[in-house]
Structure 1
Amino acid sequence: MQMSDGERLIIVMLAEVMEALKLDQEIDPALVKTLVINNDGWALKRKYSGIFHSEAPSDDVVSETTNILWMWGIIEHSIASLTGVEANEAKGWHWTKWDGFDGNNDDHYGVARTMIEDLGEFEDSRKGINLNSHSQTLLPRYRRMYEKFDAHVKAGKASPLSFDALRDLCS
């Protein structure tokens, strides 16, 4: 990351203000000041990668994230509504809850975090859970599930999902 002399001066001054006011924030002003003075912009970008993300997620990623979170809300609600033998069988299914997105490699993670933590969307079932799956294998799985789920939605059979539909999606 390249910073002009003026930008570096402003950052150092703001860091010193934060230090003097003893503000307890997510950003460490002493570290920021040191990195800027040492011209280690690369380290700032590494430490605070969420601030320096190269570009905003596409509308397609936002839409797909919304669809996946919505799908999982319906799946989880439908599973919670099962009783008796069906509920017992569902306990053995591999996919019974949303496990997040890969925070290191997937733009969906940042979109989901913003939707849930900042905008308050989907927070009924998502607030306070770990959103980072640390796995690149889940997004392809979610996409395959959504294709099947979408067929149930278009057929008017998604709220709640039938036991057979849940078995098809989750086992």
Structure 2
Amino acid sequence: MQMSDGERLIAIMLAEVMQELKIDRELDPKLVKTLVMDKDEWALRRVYPGIFDSEEPSDEVVKETGDILWMFSIIESSVGRLSGAAADEAKGWHYKQWRGFDGNNDPHYGVARTMIETLGEFSDSRKGVNLNSHTQSTLPRYRRMYEKFHAYVQASEASPLSVDALRDLCA
């Protein structure tokens, strides 16, 4: 990314305004100002990769993100209905709750963020949940889970999921 002199001036001025007004956002105005003044725009892309993505996510990524969030809505609702020994067992299941997508390496993160925070989809079960898993291992796991989950949906056994199905998916 290369900034024109005018873009550089605007970015510096906006960073100074954010600093003066003590606006607390995801962007660090002091860092942005320093990088722009030092002509290190490459570092802006490195620090804020989600802002500078040049391609929008594919339809496949959008669909898969929605499918995974829907699956976890069903899983979390089904786990919430458990009682007694089954509820106690569920406490030990690692994947009984959605843990986000990797914010640095996975385009699903940005799609999920837009679906949840901007569009209000899946937001009832996502309030207060960190959307960034900080690991690339979640997506492959979610894909394996969804493959099994889809079989339960096709068999009309997903609303709610049985204890055996939950154990199969989450343990």
Paired residues of 1:116 and 1:123 also in contact (CA < 8 A): yes
The residue number in structure 2 matching 1:55 is 55
State the Cα distance separating 1:40 from its structure 2 match: 1.6
* Aligned counterparts of 1:28 and 1:101: Cα–Cα separation in 2: 23
Q: Deviation at 1:103?
A: 1.5
2:130 aligns with 130
CA distance in 1, matches of 2:145, 2:42: 39
Contact 1:68 1:142 (8 Å CA) reproduced: yes
Task: Indicate whether 1:141 and 2:151 are aligned.
Answer: no
State TM-score, norm by structure 1.
Answer: 0.85
Which sections of structure 2, spanning at least 5 residues, go unmatched?
Answer: none
Task: Report the 3-state secondary structure (helix = DSSP H, G, I; strand = E; otherwise coil) of the residue aligned with 2:78.
Answer: helix
Counterpart code for 2:161 = L
Distance in 1 of aligned mates of 2:167 and 2:30? 53
Counterpart residue number, 2:114? 114
Aligned pairs for 1:15-34 (under 5 A) are 15=15, 18=17, 22=21, 24-26=23-25, 27-34=27-34
Deviation at 1:88, TM superposition (A): 2.5
Change in Cα spacing, 1:44 to 1:157, as seen in structure 2 (3 Å) is same
Contact 1:117/1:127 (8 A) holds in 2: no
Percent of matched pairs sharing the same residue = 68
Q: Looking at CA atoms only, which structure, 1 or 2, has the larger radius of gyration? A: 1
What residue number does 2:150 align with?
150
- Of the structure 1 ranges 51-60 and 27-36, higher mean CA displacement relative to structure 2 is found in 27-36
1:32-47 to 2 correspondence within 5 Å?
32-47=32-47
Q: CA deviation at 1:31?
A: 4.2
Tell me what 2:69 maps to: 69
Structure 1 match to 2:80:
80
RMSD: 2.2
Task: Report deviation, 1:10.
Answer: 3.8
Q: Deviations over 1:130-171 (max 9, x none)?
A: 121122112111111101111111222211111221121122
How has the CA–CA distance of structure 1 residues 20 and 73 changed in structure 2, closer, same or farther, with 3 Å as cutoff? closer
> What TM-score comes out, normalization by structure 2 length?
0.85
Following superposition, the deviation at residue 129 of structure 1 comes to: 1.3
Separation (CA, whole Å) in 2 of partners of 1:134 and 1:86: 30
Structure 1: state its 5+ residue gaps: none
Letter in 1 for 2:7: E
User: Counterpart of 2:95 in structure 1: which amino acid?
Assistant: W
**1:77/1:160 contact within 8 Å kept:** yes
User: Could you tell which deviates more after superposition, 128-137 or 42-51?
Assistant: 42-51
Counterpart residue number, 2:91: 91
2:164 matched to which residue of 1? 164
